[in-house]
Amino acid sequence: MRKRRLPLDSPNWTPLTEVHHFVCEQTGDRRLAAQDLTDAMANGRVRSMRRQVDRFHDNEPERELLPSSFWATEYRLDGSTAELQLYERRGHPLPLPPPRNPLEPAPLNFRLIQLTLSGYVFYAWRPDCKKVFGFRVALQDTKESVHEKLEKPGRPQTIRRQELREEIVRRCWQKGRFIAPESHTILITELRAWHKKAFKNEPNYDDLRKFVGDAIAILKLVER
């Protein structure tokens, strides 16, 4: 059965950088995660899309679905460095934003381009990722893109995911390397108190413990 055409403005599109983080949890290696994600998009099991950031090519749409051949024959993801990159296969140079210096030489093929410098943001279709990679809470369907509703006896609680993630990084990432907390229990208790003070909201302890565990696992992978 032919898959339906996907809406380009759906919140179900998840940045590839975020998907890559969670595939790393399964493979234990950034390069293998990039390879598995590329293969899944190349064979059509995970559908993908890209958006132009600055509209530097007026003849291209602002959002466009990418065919599986984009990943099968033209480009692939590369996870050999701390930041996910795009590898150009022969004969398929990526149209990058104009150089700031007009005297810069023309780019060659086989470049490795950091996704954040490509002029595009690349996305994967979340339901496909959940089906292929079995993602749990991190990629579950939600009506909120920033806040995650957490169930707790009594009134529902809301966790400020982005702010909490930044606070974990502030506490556990120093001078470009991961610093393990002396005690996860103490860290979770402190973060729970910090969250309550900052947002007048105290997340459920077990849900917060899982969130902190996933965040620390990602920091460990990024350090590799």
Q: Please answer whether residues 122 and 84 qualify as being in contact, where contact means their C-beta atoms are separated by less than 8 angstroms.
A: no
**Per the structure block, which two tokens stand in for 106?**
């023309």
According to DSSP, residue 29 is labeled S
Which pLDDT score, from 0 to 100, does residue 213 have? 84
Q: How many CA atoms lie within 13 A of 118 on its CB side?
A: 22
Report how far apart, in Å, the C-alpha atoms of 149 and of each of 2, 144, 156 are: 34, 8, 7
Hey, where are the domains in the chain?
13-139, 147-223
Per-residue pLDDT reduced to its tens digit, 111-165: 788 887 788 899 999 899 988 987 653 444 433 333 333 333 444 456 788 888 8
Residue 113 and residue 36: Cα distance in Å, rounded?
A: 19
Q: Please answer whether residues 37 and 11 qualify as being in contact, where contact means their C-beta atoms are separated by less than 8 angstroms.
A: no
- Comparing C-alpha atoms, which of 222, 208, 220, 214 is closest to residue 179? 220
Per-residue pLDDT of the chain (224 residues; tens, 9 = 90+): 345 678 898 888 989 988 998 888 788 889 999 999 999 999 999 999 999 887 666 677 889 999 999 999 999 999 888 888 988 887 676 766 555 555 554 444 457 888 877 888 999 998 999 889 876 534 444 333 333 333 334 444 567 888 888 888 888 887 777 788 888 888 888 898 898 888 888 888 888 888 888 888 777 766 55
Contacts of 125 (CB under 8 A, 6+ apart): 6, 12, 13, 14, 46, 47, 48, 49
- Comparing C-alpha atoms, which of 213, 162, 163 is closest to residue 187? 213
Contacts of 157 (CB under 8 A, 6+ apart): 149, 150, 151, 201, 202, 203, 204, 207
Contacts of 170 (CB under 8 A, 6+ apart): none
Got the DSSP string for 106-153?
PPPSS-EEEGGGSSEEEEEEHHHHHHHH---GGG---S-SSEEEE--S
Residue 11 and residue 214: Cα distance in Å, rounded?
A: 22
Cα 207 → chain centroid: 21
